[in-house]
Structure 1
Amino acid sequence: MAPRQATRARDSRPRGSLDRRTVAATAIEVIEEHGIDSLTMRALASELDCGTMTLYSHVRNRDDLIVAILERLIEELDVVANTSHPDDGWRDVLTRLFGAYRELGERHPRAFELLALAPYDAEPVASHLEGVLASLVRTGLSPDDARTVLAISDAFATGFLVVRARSTTRPGTATGASTPLGDLRSVGMYDRGIEAVLAGIEGTLTGAATDHRSA
């Protein structure tokens, strides 16, 4: 991506008009248009019409820029809104949350992979997952069962959506194509898969509880 001219000597962006969220949002736009390999600090500064030193006042380096992108993607998931319905059971919580997860992948198929494949123990993903686990425990699951439910369902959702996202962004392919392979990657197939996975987990948990009581 060829950087725009303009930021050689000083910023042309008005002072105070830039913040970390705006930097992250613009970085996502660059990734979606040009790919992750095109996201350099210099290219992003050019896109934002600011100097690189101004950019470094909001993100320390490229690693911190990735963290800012993850923060923005997690913010878009809006976990609180999707997990705070008082009458929801754990299946309702995850059905709604994984629906939002799919929508995020549809909006940002290239940047989505940064969140989908991020290490669980790294921030801001760790805090995000702790919040999801807490919402599952509030529905009545034990902490151990909450971790099991989230691990299994997230593995399905992430695997499906990463494949779908890569198919969407690869030249000459379309997930909506009327082919058997296209149907396997469809939104409807994802929704059916989530339903089946959650039902299977529920059956396993119910069976384990029954075995424990009869032992």
Structure 2
Amino acid sequence: MPSRQVPVLSRRDVTDAAIGLIERDGLGALTMRRLAAELGCAPMSLYTHVRSRDDLVDAIVDRLIEQLDLHEVPAETWDSAVRRTLGSYRDLAVRSPAAFELLALAPYDTSPVAPHLANVLTGLEHAGLDAEQARQILGIVDAYASGFLVVWARSRARAAQGADGRGDDGQDAGIASMRHLDMFDEGLDALIAGLDATLVRHA
């Protein structure tokens, strides 16, 4: 009787399968047992590639940061750097709305997030901000983007589960429109204008 062929996996394979599982079944579905079933392997074999579920989450966050695709020519101005960075966040939320929450809500001092934020800060300084301005502006725009996009992603998931014509949860369409991505871009325009007036030009 032929032996069962065990798939040859890498950490990237495990991470990508985890993201796919989250996008299909939600964050609550992410367990080592479910992921092993997804990959066709024994649960214990996953620990060759990830030390624990927390390490798996870090690997997912690291992979999502890679997918932001921010390795471009440095921006000429700080506001264009902010727009490019937050535009990449928005696009990632559209592609992977369920998994995006793991990145958006990850603590700043975790190993995948800290170097990513340091790179963004460096880009803002190269674009003309001093170190304190860059730190303040990144903190503010990140809080805006994370909050908006997590709510948008959760609202989209609820709508996909079934909603009437009035918007998700039966809310008025005008209220539901506050969660549209067009509103994200409008809010970003207003935020940048306010930051320019209060933290950049004022200084």
Fold agreement, TM-score > 0.5:
yes
Q: Give TM-score scaled by structure 2 length.
A: 0.89
Q: Give TM-score scaled by structure 1 length.
A: 0.84
Dislocated runs of 4+, deviation >6 Å: none
Aligned-pair identity (%): 48
Aligned equivalent of 1:200: 194
- Assess, with a 3 A threshold, how the Cα gap between structure 1 residues 24 and 99 changes in structure 2: closer, same or farther: same
* Structure 1 residues 1-215: aligned runs within 5 Å: 12-15=5-8, 18-81=9-72, 84-85=73-74, 88-170=76-158, 171-173=161-163, 179-209=173-203
Unpaired runs of 5+ in structure 1? 1-9, 210-215
1:122-180 deviation line (CA, Å, top 9, x unaligned): 11111110110011011111110000110111111111111101101122359x95811
- For the Cα contact (< 8 Å) 1:167–1:173, is it kept in 2? no
Unpaired runs of 5+ in structure 2? none
| Deviating more after overlay: 178-187 vs 22-31 | 178-187
Deviation at 1:11? Answer: 6.2
- For the Cα contact (< 8 Å) 1:11–1:51, is it kept in 2? no
1:96-115 deviation line (CA, Å, top 9, x unaligned): 11111011111111111111
Residues in 2 aligned to 1:120 and 1:11: alpha-carbon distance in whole angstroms: 43
- The residue type paired with residue 112 of structure 2 is P
Q: Secondary structure at the match of 1:113?
A: helix
- Assess, with a 3 A threshold, how the Cα gap between structure 1 residues 203 and 173 changes in structure 2: closer, same or farther: farther
1:12-53 deviation line (CA, Å, top 9, x unaligned): 3443xx211121111011111111121111111111112223
Residues in 1 aligned to 2:179 and 2:51: alpha-carbon distance in whole angstroms: 38
Residues in 2 aligned to 1:98 and 1:173: alpha-carbon distance in whole angstroms: 29
